[in-house]
Structures are given as C-alpha cells and as structure tokens.
Structure 1
Amino acid sequence: MIRLTLYTTLGCHLCQQLEALLVTLCAGEYRLERVEISEDDALVERYGVRIPVLVDAEGRELDRGFEAPRLAAWLAERGWLEEDAWAALQRQLAGEAEPREARGATMRGGRRYLG
C-alpha cells in the first residue's frame, strides 16, 4: 500500500483539489495521513505558504500538487500513475472529452461522495 502524508489546514480548497486528483490519478491503494499545520508553529513556518504539500514515505515532497501535470509527473516517477485516467483527464482539460467520474465516487442528492 502506498503511504502518503498531506500537510493541510482546515478549509484549504487547494488541498481538496489535490485529494480529488489523487483519487483519480493514483494507481493502486494508498493511505493518506492528513497533518493539520495550524496546530504547530514549526509546521506553519515550514508549510504555511506551500500547502498543500504531499509527501511520500521516503520524505520526498510535492508542492502545488493541485496542478494535475505536477501531480501526474510526481506519481509517474514513483510508478503510481494511473495512465488511462491521466490520458482521460488530459483530454478533458483540453476540452476533448466528457468529465470522468473519480474511481469509487457516487452521486447522492446532487453531491459527489468519494470512497
């Protein structure tokens, strides 16, 4: 299982965007530990202007992972990229395809739930 850490804070819309992309682009199962930076001055100092920051088990960090090409490249370097999903997302971003529902997403009452 892939183990990832996400440095985040409450209400971070960019963090939510990264998580949605991760659901779509990450091949295989992963465990995401969310670390709230606002409760620790040292974490605020280190990550405050950089969140969301995604970190793999070896400590390699990704800033701005909410940008799909950056996240896709980071995942590909580790062999974790779902290639078909990335190709579909690229077509969608280019306006060539209909949006693809995230794996495991369901619609209830007009809202999308992951999991």
Structure 2
Amino acid sequence: MAKKTIMLVCSAGMSTSLLVSKMQKAAVARDYDADIFAIASSEVDNKLAEKNVDVVLLGPQVRFLKDDFAKKTAPKGIALDVINMADYGMMNGEKVLDQAVSLMK
C-alpha cells in the first residue's frame, strides 16, 4: 500500500504536535505507512500546493474553517473532517488515526 499523507490543522500547529507523535506511534505499531504532520491553519494553502495530501483533519478549535477548507480539498479529492473533540482532548492517537484511515476508504 502506498504511503498516506495525513495533515492535522490547528490554530498554531503546536497543540496537535503531541497528537501527531501519538498517531505516528499508532501507525508504526500497525505497520501503516503514513506521513503525519501538523501545521497552522494559515499554512494550509502553501502545504496543499507543495504536497500531495490524502486527508486533512481539523482540530476542534478550527472547526469553523471546515467549509472554507472544503472548497480547497474537495476538488483535489482530499478527505476532510474535524477531529472528534473527545479523542482530541484525550490525545488519542489510535482513534484519530482510525478516523483518518476510514476517511481515505
């Protein structure tokens, strides 16, 4: 299976970095080949222009940007969703990885 690219978006790119490391650990444990990274919402346009992304997950604090991002991701066939608030709050890398994987099917 080809490597999947999962982009997490939050207001500054900081709060999701812990979640990224937990998701990476979960991916390694499952032998799932994924490039998982977090960026600030202001960097999304640049990142989408330079990188092939399979799924974009928004942190709950930027869920209001979903409609705006849908206009950018839908034409490219990129899955988009908001991270479940409870999973985000608990920094549950397993569950958020599950969410990302199910969106790509």
TM over 0.5: no
Structure with more helix by fraction: 2
Name which one, 1 or 2, has greater alpha-carbon Rg.
1
Q: RCO greater where, 1 or 2, for CA within 8 Å and sep 6 or more?
A: 2
Normalising by structure 2, what TM-score?
Answer: 0.41
Normalising by structure 1, what TM-score?
Answer: 0.39
